[in-house]
């Protein structure tokens, strides 16, 4: 799960960067940026955090 979280975070970063060459529309670029940031946040705060919470000290 931790590896999936990291890979998803990297994907969320690369999405708006690569998309710069796909479209010149400012609106579409902005949408893809927000989408990428959203994916990254889900990866960090959702996937990775959940994986770490499983072994949290207060659950032991």
Per CB under 8 A, residues contacting other proteins are: 2, 6, 9-18, 20-21, 24, 26, 29-30, 33-34, 36-37, 40-41, 44-45, 48-49, 52-53, 55-60
Least separation in angstroms between CB 52 and other proteins: 5
Minimum distance of other proteins from residue 41's CB (angstroms) = 7
In the bound complex, what is the minimum distance in angstroms from residue 14's beta carbon to other proteins? Answer: 7
Task: State the CB neighbour count (10 A cutoff) for residue 32.
Answer: 19
Tokens representing 38 are 């959203």
Residue 31 corresponds to which tokens in the numbers above?
A: 């949408």
Q: Tell me how far apart the alpha carbons of residues 1 and 28 are, in angstroms, rounded to a whole number.
A: 31
């Amino acid at each position: 799960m931790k590896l999936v979280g990291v890979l998803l975070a990297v994907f969320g970063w690369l999405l708006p960067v690569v998309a710069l060459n796909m479209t010149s529309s400012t609106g579409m670029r902005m949408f893809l940026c927000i989408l990428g940031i959203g994916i990254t946040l889900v990866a960090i705060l959702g996937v990775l955090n959940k994986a770490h919470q499983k072994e949290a000290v207060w659950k032991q």
